[in-house]
Structure 1
Amino acid sequence: MDATKLVSIDGLRSTKVKRSKDAEKNAVYGGARSPDDSYISNTHKENLCLEYVQNFRSNFVRLFPDRKELYLTAKNEFKVEKFVCTTIRPTQLQFRELYDLNKCAEFVAHFLDYEPLENAVEPPSTLPSSTQVLDWGVGDSFDFATLLASFLLGAGYDAYVVHGYAPKYICECDQSQTVCPLVTDVSDEAGAKDEGEKNPQDVGDDEIAETKSSDNDDALDADEEAPPSEEKKDDLLDAPSGEYKLKTHGAIESKFLMSAAEADSKDDPGVGGAPISKAFTPQPIRWDSDDEDEKQVEENEAASSDPLYGKRVHCWVLVRGGKRGVPEMLFVEPSTARIYPVSESPYQGIEAVWNAKNYWVNMQTDKDLVGHSFDFGNNDLWEFVFIDSGPIALVEKEQGERSMMDMLNDPIVDEEKESNEEEEEKGEEVEEVDDILDIPESWVNKLKIDRSKYNVRYPPHGQKVVLYKKAKLELFAESFHDQGMVSRFTLFKDVARTVVKESVETFINRRDKLVKRIRKPLERMVHESFDPGRPSSLKYLVEWAGKRREMYFYVNARLDGLLCREEDVGKKIVEKFEGRGDKLTYRSIAVKESLESGNSTFVLPGGAHSPDLVVLKMTEKYERNDEKDASEDVAKRTFYVRENKVRTQYHYAKSCITRNTINHDKERSAEDVGDQLEVVRDAEKECLSEARRAQNETADLLTTRKHEEQEIIIDQPVFETASSRRDEERKVQEILEEQEQGDKRQLDYLTPFLMNINPKDLTREDAMKVKENCLKALKDRLLERANIIQNRLNEENKELAKYQAAFQRNQRDNDPDAEEQFEKECSEAMFRIQILEQRLVQHEESALKKYKDMDNKLVADPRLSVLRHG
Structure 2
Amino acid sequence: MADASYPRSYTTNTSQENELLAIADNFHRQFSHLHPERKRLLLCPVNECGVKKFVSTTIRPAPTDHPELYSWQGCASFVSDFLTLEPLELPYDPPARLFSSTLVMQNQRATSFEYAVLLCGLLLGADYDAYCVSGYAHREMCLLDQRLQDCPLLGTQAEKVASEHQSPQDKYTVRPPRQLKSHFEEQLQEKKKEQEAEAASLHEQEVEEPGEQRPFDPLWVHCWVLVLSGCRGVQENFFIDPLSGLSYSTDTASFLGIESLWNTFNCYVNKQDCGRGCGDVLYDLEDVNLWEPVIYGATSKKELMLEIEKDEQRLFSQYIEEDEDVQLAEYKEEEKEEEDEEEPQPFAMPTPWVTYINITNQDLETRFPRGQKVNRYRKAKLEQFVPYLRMDGLVSRLSLYKDRDCTEVAMVKEEYLHRSDHLEQREVNKVEDFTTDRFKRGRRFHLIFHRYRSMTVDSIHEMEFSDAARVDDLVWRVVTPGEMTETFHARPDFLYYRRSVFGRHVQFSQNKEADPKIHLVQVVERFHRDESKAANEDVAERVFMMSEGRIDVTFHLREHRIIALKMSFTTAAENTQQRRGEELTPAQMECLRTPTLREMTSLMADEDKVSVHIKESMKEVTMRLYD
TM-score by length of 2: 0.77
Counterpart amino acid of residue 109 in structure 2: V
**Is the 1:631–1:659 contact (alpha carbons within 8 Å) kept by the matching residues of 2?**
no
Q: Does 1:488 align with 2:400?
A: no
1:555 aligns with 2:467: yes
1:42 is paired with a residue whose SS is coil
| Equivalent position of 1:398 in the other structure | none
Which residue of 435, 438, 450 maps to 1:529? Answer: 438
When residues 430 and 692 of structure 1 are mapped into structure 2, their CA distance, relative to the original with a 3 A threshold, is: farther
Task: State whether residues 452 and 460 of structure 2, in contact with CA within 8 Å, keep that contact through their aligned partners in structure 1.
Answer: yes
Equivalence for 2:567: 663
| Equivalent-residue separation in structure 2 for 1:140 and 1:95 (angstroms) | 25
1:84 Cα deviation from its structure 2 partner = 0.9
Separation in 1, partners of 2:470, 2:212: 61
Contact map agreement 2:260 2:268 (CA 8 A) in 1 = yes
Is this contact kept in 1: 2:449–2:464, CA < 8 A?
yes
- Going from structure 1 to structure 2, the CA distance change for 1:683 and 1:439 (only over 3 Å counts) comes to same
Structure 2: which amino acid aligns with 1:639? Answer: F
223, 236, 248: which one pairs with 1:340? 248
Structure 1 residues 694 and 526: CA distance shift in structure 2, 3 A? same
Other-structure match for 1:358: 266
Q: Which amino acid aligns with 1:213?
A: D
Instruction: Describe the shift of the 1:429–1:578 C-alpha distance in structure 2 as closer, same or farther (beyond 3 A).
Output: farther
Are residues 1:702 and 2:625 paired? yes
Is the alpha carbon distance of 1:37 and 1:657 closer, same or farther for their aligned partners in structure 2, counting shifts above 3 Å? Answer: farther
Distance 1:668 1:500 in 2: 59
Change (3 A) 1:588 1:330: farther
User: What's 1:136 paired with?
Assistant: 107
Residue 180 (structure 1) shift = 2.2
Shifted more, 338-347 versus 514-523: the winner is 338-347
Query: Per the alignment, do residues 392 and 466 of structure 1 end up closer, same or farther by CA in structure 2, a change over 3 Å counting?
Result: closer
After superposition, the Cα gap between the structure-2 partners of 1:112 and 1:606, relative to the gap in structure 1 and judged at 3 Å, is: closer
Shift of 1:302: 11
Q: What is the rounded CA distance, in whole Å, between the counterparts of 1:483 and 1:324 in structure 2?
A: 40
CA distance in structure 1 between the partners assigned to 2:368 and 2:555 by the alignment:
63
Q: Deviations over 1:544-578 (max 9, x none)?
A: 1232011112222222211121111x321111122
- The answer as to 2:367 corresponding to 1:457 is yes
- Partner of 1:357: helix, strand, or coil? coil
1:743-754 matches, cutoff 5 A? none
Aligned to 1:118: 89
Deviation at 1:694, TM superposition (A): 1.4
Residues 621/37 of structure 1: CA separation in 2 closer, same or farther (3 Å cut): same
Number of the residue aligned with 1:599: none
- Is this contact kept in 1: 2:496–2:526, CA < 8 A? yes
Q: How many angstroms apart in 2 are the aligned matches of 1:430 and 1:588? A: 94
Query: Given the alignment of the two structures, is residue 586 of structure 1 paired with residue 557 of structure 2, yes or no?
Result: no
In structure 2, C-alpha distance between the alignment counterparts of 1:335 and 1:456, rounded to whole Å: 18
Residues of 2 paired with 1:498 and 1:302: CA distance?
17
Please list the CA deviations of residues 705-745 of structure 1 after superposition, one character each: whole Å capped at 9, or x if unmatched. Answer: xxxxxxxxxxxxxxxxxxxxxxxxxxxxxxxxxxxxxxxxx
Q: 1:43 aligns with which of 14, 21, 32?
A: 14
Within-5 A mapping of 1:660-809: 660-667=564-571, 669=573, 672-674=594-596, 675-704=598-627
Q: CA deviation at 1:310?
A: 2.2
Shift of 1:134: 1.6
User: How far apart are 1:615 and its partner, in Å?
Assistant: 1.9
**Letter aligned with residue 147 of structure 1:** L
Matched residue SS, 1:92: coil
Match of 1:314 in 2: 222
1:442 counterpart = 2:356: no
Q: 1:272-295, CA deviations, whole angstroms, 9 ceiling, x for partnerless residues?
A: xxxxxxxxxxxxxxxxxxxx9xx9
Q: Distance in 1 between matches of 2:19 and 2:561?
A: 93
> Does the aligned pair in 1 maintain the 2:150–2:378 contact within 8 Å?
yes
Q: Distance in 1 between matches of 2:226 and 2:396?
A: 28
What pairs up with 1:835-846 in 2 under 5 angstroms?
A: none
CA gap 1:616/1:345 in 2 versus in 1, 3 angstroms = farther
Q: Report what 1:208 is aligned to.
A: 165
Write the distance in 2 (CA, Å) between the matches of 1:57 and 1:64: 10
Counterpart contact for 2:410–2:431, Cα < 8 Å: yes
Which has the larger helix fraction? Answer: 1
1:665/1:343 Cα in 2 relative to 1: closer, same or farther (>3 Å)?
farther
CA offsets 1:460-491 (integer angstroms, 9 cap, x no match) = x3223222222222222221112221121111
Q: Give the 3 Å change call, closer, same or farther, for CA 471–392 of structure 1 in structure 2.
A: closer
Question: Which residue of 1 is the match for residue 279 of structure 2?
Answer: 370
* Residue 384 of structure 2 corresponds to residue 475 of structure 1: yes
Q: Does the C-alpha gap of structure 1 residues 626 and 120 become closer, same or farther in structure 2, counting only changes over 3 Å? A: same
**How far is the alpha carbon of 1:214 from its aligned partner?**
5.1
CA distance, structure 1, for counterparts of residue 558 and residue 293 of structure 2 = 80
**CA distances 1:636-693 after superposition (whole Å, capped 9, x unpaired):** 3333333444443444567x67463313122564993324434433433332222122
Shift in Å, 1:170 = 2.0
| Equivalent in the alignment of 1:620 | 525
Helix, strand or coil at the partner of 1:75: coil
2:290 is matched with 381
If each structure's strand is expressed as a fraction of its own residues, which one has the higher value? 2
Matches within 5 A, 1:90-105: 90-105=61-76
CA deviation vs aligned residue, 1:363-406 (integer Å, no higher than 9, x gap): 3224532233334344443333454368879x9xxxxxxxxxxx
- Output the CA distance in 1 between the equivalents of 2:544 and 2:396: 48
1:353 & 1:430 partners in 2: Cα distance? 35
Partner of 1:331: 239
Structure 2: unaligned runs, 5 residues or longer: 180-201, 307-337, 577-592
Deviation at 1:163, TM superposition (A): 0.7
Q: Give the Cα separation in 2 of the matches to 1:665 and 1:119.
A: 90
Task: Check the 8 A contact 2:265/2:301 in 1, yes or no.
Answer: no
Any idea what the Cα deviations from partners look like across 1:766-789, whole Å, max 9, x if unmatched?
xxxxxxxxxxxxxxxxxxxxxxxx
Cα displacement (A) at 1:314? 0.7
Instruction: Report the aligned-residue RMSD.
Output: 3.6
Q: CA, structure 1 residues 392+476, in 2 after alignment: closer, same or farther (shift >3 Å)?
A: closer
Partner of 2:150: 179
**What SS does the aligned partner of 1:144 have?**
helix
Q: Given the alignment of the two structures, is residue 163 of structure 1 paired with residue 140 of structure 2, yes or no?
A: no
Please say if 1:250 is aligned against 2:181: no
- What residue in structure 1 maps to residue 429 of structure 2? 520
Q: Distance in 1 between matches of 2:537 and 2:70?
A: 61
Q: Which has the larger radius of gyration?
A: 1
- The residue type equivalent to 1:523 in the other structure is E
CA distance in 1, matches of 2:482, 2:608: 21
Q: How many angstroms apart in 1 are the aligned matches of 2:467 and 2:230?
A: 43
CA distance in 2, matches of 1:646, 1:442: 87
Q: Which residue of 2 aligns with 1:571?
A: 482
Aligned equivalent of 2:448: 539
- In the superposition, the TM-score normalised over structure 1's length comes to 0.56
Residue of structure 1 equivalent to 2:311: none
Asked if the contact 2:567/2:594 (under 8 Å) is kept, the reply is no
Q: 2:234 and 2:477 mapped to 1: Cα distance?
A: 44
Residue 60 of structure 1 and its aligned partner are, at CA, apart by 3.7
Q: Would you say the 8 A contact 2:265–2:300 is kept in 1?
A: no
- State the identity as a percent: 32
1:496-527 CA deviation, whole Å, 9 max, x = no partner?
A: 22211011122111111112211122322111
Partners in 2 of 1:162 and 1:48 — Cα distance? 24
Q: Secondary structure at the match of 2:375?
A: strand
